[in-house]
Amino acid sequence: MLTLVNDNPPVWSGGLVADGTYWCTSEQLFTGLDGGSGVFVDDAGYGRGASRVFVFANGQLEGYDFTVAGPSSSSASFCGPQLFVASTCPTPTSAAAYPYSVLDPRHVLLYAGADGLALTLELQGDAGSPDPGSSSPGCAASCNLLVNDGGWIHVSAASGALPTGNGGTVAAGTYDLQSDVVYNAPADAGAPLRRTKLVLSPGSAISGSFASVDSVFYPGSFFGSEVHIAGSYAAVGGTLAVTLTCPSWPILAGSYDFTSTGGASILTIYADSNAAGEPEVMTFALVGP
C-alpha cells in the first residue's frame, strides 16, 4: 500500500542487515521535499498489488519486482549507509546509490530514489548472520559515499549572457549548493529542485581532488535522480580545470570560470554548457571541513 507522507525523507543511518529474504510490506512517498506537491504518476504499480522480494546474503542484494509494468530484477552491494543498485533485467543499467536505514533487526527502510519513494522491507523466517555493511565487495569501486543532506533549492532561470568569474582562493572543505541559475533554457524545461554537496581536498595551493553528490527532483512528476562523481581540479587564474575519475563522463570534464568571495566561504562556478547543453551558474557555501 502506498502512503503519502507530507514530510522530508529521514536522515539515513545505514546499519547491519541480517541475511535472509525480505518482502516489501509498505511504500511511502515523501512529498515534503521543500514542500513539493503534485500528481503522482503511478506507472510502475506502486500501491496497486505490486510484489517486491529482496534477498540479502553475504553483503549482496538480489531484488525482484512484479508490477503492472512487468517483472524486473536487480542486484546490489552495500557501501556505508547506501546500497549501490544496478538493474539486471529486462534492461541492464549502471549502479546508482540508494540510502537505507535499519529500523530494527527485522525491518529495513530503503530509499528508492530522489523522487521521494521509500520501501519498508520485512524479514521473512529466521534471520541469518548480519550483513558486513561497508566491508562488502564493490565498496571501493563506488565514486564516493557522500550523503546529500543539504537543503533543497529551486533551480531558477535567467536570460542573457553568462557572467564571467574573477577567480580567487579555493578553500578546502564541504560545500552545499545555495543557488542554481540556468540561462536561456527552453520554456518547457520545468523548474526542478536540486541539492548538491561538494567536498574539495586541496593537494596544493591551487589543485586537489573533489567528490560530489548531486540530486535533482521534479515536484510535479515525482521523478528524480542522484549522481555521485569524483575527480581532480586545478585553479589557474579565474578558471577551474576539472578532470573526472569516476564515472567517465567527458561531458562534465573541462574548464569553468569561478569566483571565490566571502573570505573563500562562497564559491561560484560558471558553466558555458552543463549536461543539458545550457549555460549555468551554481553558487556553493562552505558549511564544514
pLDDT tens profile 245-276: 887 555 577 899 999 999 999 999 999 887 77
Q: Are strands 156-158 and 173-183 parallel, antiparallel or unpaired?
A: parallel
Residue 15's nearest CA partner among 85, 118, 102 is: 102
More confident residue, 159 or 127: 159
Burial class (CB in 10 A: 0-12, 13-18, 19+), 226: buried
As assigned by CATH, the class of the 2-135 domain is mainly beta
- Beta bridge pairs of residue 99: 82
pLDDT on residue 233: 95
| CATH architecture of the domain formed by 153-288 | Beta Barrel (2.40)
* pTM over the 0.85 mark: no
The mean pLDDT value for 179-191 works out to: 75
23 CB-near residues (< 8 Å, 6+ apart): 51, 52, 53, 54, 121, 122, 124
- Span 107-142, pLDDT tens digits: 888 887 656 778 889 999 876 666 544 434 445 446
pLDDT on residue 67: 63
pLDDT band at residue 47 using 50, 70 and 90 as cut-offs: very low
- Span 144-157, pLDDT tens digits: 878 888 888 888 98
> Quick check: 160 pLDDT over 80?
yes
DSSP line for 232-252? EEEEETTEEEEEEEES--GGG
Annotated domain spans of the chain: 2-135, 153-288
Same fold, 2-135 and 153-288: yes
Cα 59 to Cα 24: distance, rounded to the nearest angstrom: 19
pLDDT on residue 226: 72
More confident residue, 166 or 278: 166
Q: Which parts of the chain are beta strand (E)? A: 2-5, 20-30, 51-57, 60-67, 70-79, 82-89, 96-104, 107-111, 117-124, 153-154, 156-158, 173-183, 193-202, 207-218, 223-236, 239-246, 254-261, 266-271, 280-288
> Quick check: 174 pLDDT over 60?
yes
